[in-house]
Amino acid sequence: MKSIITEEMRFRQRVVVYAIKHNNNAKAARRYHTSRQQVQRWRKKYDGTVQSLANKSTRPHYHPNEHTQEELNLIKHKRRYHGHEGYAQIYRKLKDAGYSRSYDSMCRQIRKMKLNIIKKRRSYPKSKYIKMTASYPGERVQIDVKYVPNECIGFASHHSRYYQITAIDEYSRKRYLELVNENSTYSTSEFLKSLEIKLGFKVKLVQTDYTEEKTIPKFYLEYCCCL
């Protein structure tokens, strides 16, 4: 920050320049009605600029009642985990941890450490993804296979595993599902064979969340290629 040049600083500069010109501090002191010791102190501070003659800060470097580093670390810790609950909750947590200062002292230290400044969240560009919607029944049909727990089955399973195959048309939202006792390419292909009959219209594309090649029925690949 640029310091403000005052009239007192300009006066000191005139005194110092006169003392340097005549190389006599006493003569400059008599001319400008000050002491020789004061002129000597100004000459030691002077480096050719008027800013060097400004008064230094009188703030003490240490105070016996100032916050210790342990207290500051404790404030940071409680502010981090309880800041969303408000300053009152932070102060209560500090008191429980042995903090002996006042509430105003805590708030002053939070402002001093700039813990009250809310950081701006990083903004991300909006996605340009445009979802393709179906325009007629059968254009896209979603198929999913889920395991059915034994406690959800309303009949005796005899320790057999059951799977539910669900097909939903995106346009009409018409749904058809079957319960099978095995998750295999055969059961899935049989489901696809009867899908168009159950839905009542031709199916152009079938979409599923299968990612592993070994779980994709061979009939499903042939079915999509033929369409």
pLDDT in tens, 173-210: 999 888 888 888 888 888 888 888 888 888 888 888 75
Residue 27 has pLDDT above 70, yes or no: yes
Q: Of all helices (H) and strands (E), which one includes residue 140?
A: none
Cα separation, 199 vs 174, in Å, equals 7
Q: Rounded CA gap, 159 and 103, in Å?
A: 65
pLDDT class for 3, splitting at 50, 70, 90?
A: low
In sequence order, the β-bridge partners of residue 142 are: 168, 207
The phi and psi torsions of 218 (rounded to 5 degrees) equal -65, -35
| pLDDT tens, position by position, 92-129 | 999 999 999 999 999 999 999 999 887 777 888 888 88
| Tens-digit pLDDT profile for residues 124-161 | 888 888 878 888 888 889 998 888 887 777 777 777 78
Q: Residue 72, SS3?
A: helix
The pLDDT assigned to 100 comes to 94
